[in-house]
Amino acid sequence: MELSQRISTILGTGSDGWDVFYRARQMIKDGTPVTELTIGEHDIRTAAPILRDMHASALGGHTGYAMVPGTTALRETIAARVQERTGVPTTAANVMVTPGGQSALFAAHTCLCDPGDVALYLDPFYATYPGTIRGASAIPRAIQTRAEDAFQPRAADIAAQAKGAKTLLINSPNNPTGTVYSRNTLDGIAKVCLDHDLWLISDEVYDTQIWEGTHISPRALPGMAERTLVVGSMSKSHAMTGSRCGWIVAPEHVIEATINLSTHTTYGVPGFIQDAAVFAMDQGPAFEEEIAAPFRRRRALAKQVLAEQNTVGLVPAQGAMYLMLDVRATGLSGEGFANALLDAHHIAVMPGESFGAAAAGHVRVAMTIEDTQFSDALRTLCAFAQSLET
C-alpha cells in the first residue's frame, strides 16, 4: 500500500548535510563525550515560576479543550505586545495561537497556497522550511542570499524569482546566519511583495535576541499589514521550547482561515500552557533580556576568540543564538570541515550546506553551552582550521 505523494516527498531528495549531527549523537550514545554545538535550544530549562503557574492552572481545572483560536487572555496579551512593539493596530482578532512556531509556518502556507503554487524562501534557511512548504502541497523555490552581503537578501534577486509565486517566507533575526535584516533590506522586500502581489510570511521567533541593530517587523511597513503573516513563539524568547506555544498575527480574514484549519488539525493548545504563556509574557522585557543574556555574552566571547586569528571568518552575528563561521580558507566544504572537526576534537557543529547551498563552506555554531566550554571549543575549532589552511 502506497503512502501519499505529499508525505513521501516531504523531505526532498539529495544529502541534507545532517550526517554529522547523527554521527555525533551516535558517538555520545557509544560513550564518547562530544561538545555539542548543533542544536538551537537553551542550556537552561523553563523558569520555575512559569512552571508553577502552569501547574496551578492545570490544578485549577484548565485541562479541558481550550478555545481553538487561543484563550482570550493570551490572544489579547500577544496583540498588545505586538502593537506596543510595532505600532501596528492589533487586536485579539488578529491572533491565532498555535502549537509552536513550526505549526504556525505550516498553517500559514496551507492557508495561503493552493496545491502547485510556488512558495519562495531564502537560502540559507531554517531546516524545516522546504519540507513545510511541500507538506502544504506547494512548490518550494529557494532564492540564494550571498556570503559577501553577510546574507542580507537583495530585493533584485527576490524580484527575479517572484513571477507567478504566491508567498515569500523570510526570517529575521535569521537562523542559521544570525543576520538581522536592515530597514533597507526590508523596504526592498516589501516593494517586491507589493509589486508582485505576494503574501509575506515573516518568521520572527528570534525577535528578542538582537545583539546589534534593531528588529523591524515588516508588517509595520507601509501597505504591508494586509499582506503579512507574522510567526511568533514562546520557544526562544521565554525558553519554553517544550511547551509548544506559538502564534500567527495576520489580517482577520486570514486568522479565520487558520481557525478553520486548526479545528480540523490541532484543535488548539492546552489551556494551562496558554495561561503560563500569559504569565511569562507578563514578566516583561527584563525577563526576555535575562533569557537572551547568555547568548549575548557568548557572542561577545566569540568575537574576542575570532579576533585572535585570521583563518575563520565570522558573519556579523547581529541576532539569534547562532554564529555562522566561514571556513573556506581551510579548502574544505562546511560538511568536510564539520566531519573532520568531529573526528579530530569531538566537537559537533552543523555544516552550512545543511541549511542550503548559499551557506557552503560555512559551519553553524549554536551558542548553547556554558561560557568557558564554549570559548574553549571555539579556540580549538580555530586552531584546527589554521592547521588545515591551504
Ligand X SMILES: Cc1ncc(COP(=O)(O)O)c(C=O)c1O
Nearer to ligand X, 171 or 208 (CB): 171
What mask, x for binding ligand X by CB under 6 A, covers residues 219 to 238? --------------x-x---
| 384 Cβ contact list (under 8 Å, min separation 6) | 340, 341, 344, 345
Largest CA distance in the chain: 64
> Among residues 57, 77, 90, 102, which is the contact residue for ligand X, using CB under 6 A?
102
Considering beta carbons, is residue 235 or 368 the nearer one to ligand X?
Answer: 235
Q: Which residue of 70, 101, 319, 356 would you call a contact of ligand X, by CB under 6 A?
A: 101
The answer to the question of residue 70 lying near ligand X (CB under 6 A) is no
State yes or no: residue 249 binds ligand X (CB under 6 A).
no
CA triple 100-254-261, angle to 5 deg: 55
Task: For residue 214, give the C-alpha cell.
Answer: 534593531
Residue with Cβ nearer ligand X (202 or 311): 202
Instruction: Report the alpha-carbon angle 126-131-132, nearest 5.
Output: 80
Measured on CA atoms in the order 188, 190, 193, 199, is the torsion positive or negative? positive
> Least Å distance between CB 168 and ligand X?
15
Collect all residues with Cβ–Cβ distance below 8 Å to 390 and sequence separation of at least 6. 329, 330, 331
- 8 Å CB contact between 322 and 348: no
Size of interface with ligand X, in residues (CB under 6 A): 13
CA distance 262 to 122: 27
Q: Does 255 bind ligand X (CB under 6 A)?
A: no
Among 21, 126, 211, 287, binds ligand X (CB under 6 A): 126
AA identity, residue 140: P
Only one residue has cell 507589493, namely 194
* 20, 21, 37, 40: which one binds ligand X (CB under 6 A): 40
Please report how close the Cβ of residue 2 comes to ligand X at its closest, in angstroms: 30
In one-letter notation, the amino acid at residue 155 is: A
State the nearest-atom distance from the C-beta of 32 to ligand X, in Å.
26
The span from the CA of 356 to the CA of 211, in Å, is: 24
Q: Which stretch binds ligand X (CB under 6 A): 52-60, 88-96, 97-105, 380-388?
A: 97-105
Residue whose CB is less far from ligand X, 217 or 241: 241
Distance of CA 143 to the CA centre of its chain: 17
Does 205 engage in binding with ligand X (CB under 6 A)? yes
Candidate list 70, 100, 153, 316; residue touching ligand X; CB under 6 A? 100
CA atoms within 13 A on the CB side of 281: 21
- Residue 149's CB is within 10 A of a number of other CB atoms, namely 12
Contact status: 241 vs ligand X (CB under 6 A):
yes
The stretch among 98-106, 179-187, 287-295, 353-361 that binds ligand X (CB under 6 A) is 98-106
Considering the complex, what minimum distance in angstroms separates the CB of residue 3 from ligand X? Answer: 24
Query: Residues in the site for ligand X, rule: CB under 6 A?
Result: 40, 100-102, 126, 171, 175, 203, 205, 233, 235, 241, 246
